[in-house]
Amino acid sequence: MLGFRLNDEQEGFRLAVRSFAEKALAPRVEELERTETFPRDLFAELGRLGYLGVGYPEAYGGSGGDMVMRCLLIEEIARVNCGFAAALLAHVGLGCIPIFRFGTEEQKRHYLVPAIRGEKLGSFGLSEPNSGSDAASIRTTAERRGDHYVINGTKMFITNGNIADYCLVAAYTDRARRGGGISMFIVDTTTPGFTVSRKLRKTGHHTSETAALAFDDMQVPVAALLGGSEGGFQQVTGTLEGGRITHAARSVGVSQAALEAALRYAQERVQFGQPIAKFQAIKFKLARMAAEVEIARTMMWRAAWLFDQGHCMREAAMAKLFASEVAQRVTWEAVQIFGGYGYITEFPVERFWRDARLMTITEGTTEIQLTIIAREIGL
């Protein structure tokens, strides 16, 4: 980035992704939402185009670039379909960042390289039925037995869980060390004992497939241990830090979509002899929506830039907090501007509204982000 402006490479990438989203994804959105399916062919095409490799080095098949470009990918896709963006976020962020940052060379070659090419789809297994915000309270265990580990437990709300080729599974290898005794394993989803309990039906994000998983005496080789050593809770927290930033990008994307839709409609809808955009009540809504979306985008870009410098725990939490709450307000106001038409499925703003509701819950709730920010400012 150059100051507060995208450089030529970043701007060119943004426009290329927008073109892909509008030409390849947009015509299929209604069908994908209705059938609640993830378009694996479009995922593979993104891999062939090199878009999944932004922020990763060429040595692993990446296309270079930085975290800002990864956020641009998610924002532009979310502007067209938030569910598809959620699945991509779970893959390029949660499913790849841990392997890139902490994995062994062999793990990078076997999983990261094909993931960047769009040949393998990843997922991240942390949340459980009784463990959400308190990640250290997970109950899944991994017991070392000779040259393998035996994993038992369950996972909940796992994006891509039922369609992924591999899953990064968090499990306790040492129950005596709360948090610190958690390790990460890269598990092929074809492994005996790996079960998709059920596909979860959701209020929104229908193009993103979400599942509950179960592990019953699932044996994985010692080589599946991420990084080759136990006690990887920092692998979890380090991954979530980046995930919060790309989540903010998803919130910005759906907010931008709602703003654009409301702006068009307000200029076309005539009441009392003039477009409703002429009325102060409506134009002030749109002006505030535009301001908040731009502020959220700026915060997200700054957090992404700081991520590439090495650490941004506070800024990542702030970006996620603000962008997710902006998504609530902007999509709500968009529905209000559309009136009755905003509440029927013929117009996409009702989908934007449903999709946005998840933003303050997933990738760390609003309350968790406030807790992190309070800690980071010394409280």
Task: Give the confidence band of 312 by pLDDT, cuts at 50, 70, 90.
Answer: confident
Quick one: DSSP state of residue 92? I
Cα distance between residue 366 and residue 205, in whole Å? 19
Residue type, 6: L
Residues with active-site annotation: 363
CATH 1.10.540.10, the chain: domain bounds: 8-121
Out of 2.60.120.10, 3.90.1300.10, 1.10.540.10, 3.90.1530.10, the CATH code matching 8-121 is 1.10.540.10
- Residue 251, Cα to own-chain centre: how many angstroms? 10
The stretch 311-325 carries a mean pLDDT of: 94
User: Per CATH, is 123-232 categorized as 2.40.110.10?
Assistant: yes
* Mean model confidence pLDDT for the chain: 95
pLDDT in tens, 1-39: 556 688 999 999 999 999 999 999 999 999 999 999 999
Looking at residue 288, what is its pLDDT? 98
Q: Are strands 210-221 and 148-159 parallel, antiparallel or unpaired?
A: antiparallel
Cα distance between residue 127 and residue 141, in whole Å? 14
Q: Is the pLDDT of residue 297 over 90?
A: yes
DSSP SS3 for 18 = helix
Percent of the chain predicted with pLDDT > 90: 88
pLDDT in tens, 130-181: 998 888 899 999 999 999 999 999 999 999 999 999 999 999 999 889 988 9
pLDDT in tens, 174-233: 988 998 899 999 999 999 999 999 999 999 999 999 999 999 999 999 999 999 999 877
Identify which has the larger pLDDT, 220 or 311. 220
Cα distance between residue 33 and residue 28, in whole Å? 9
CATH 1.20.140.10, the chain: domain bounds: 234-376
Q: How many CB atoms lie within 10 A of CB 200?
A: 16
Looking at residue 370, what is its pLDDT? 97
pTM to 2 decimals? 0.93
CATH 2.40.110.10, the chain: domain bounds: 123-232
* Among the listed residues 339, 338, 243, 347, the one whose alpha carbon sits nearest the alpha carbon of residue 300: 243
Q: How big is the chain by its Cα radius of gyration, in Å?
A: 21
Phi then psi dihedrals of residue 13, to 5 deg: -65, -45
Cα distance between residue 35 and residue 74, in whole Å? 22
Task: Give the confidence band of 239 by pLDDT, cuts at 50, 70, 90.
Answer: confident
User: Per CATH, is 234-376 categorized as 1.20.140.10?
Assistant: yes
Looking at residue 10, what is its pLDDT? 93
Looking at residue 12, what is its pLDDT? 95
What residues have CB less than 8 Å from 332, skipping those under 6 apart?
A: 353
Looking at residue 144, what is its pLDDT? 97
290 neighbors 259 (Cβ within 8 angstroms): yes
Percent of the chain predicted with pLDDT > 70: 99
Residue 255 half-sphere exposure, CB side, CA atoms within 13 Å?
29
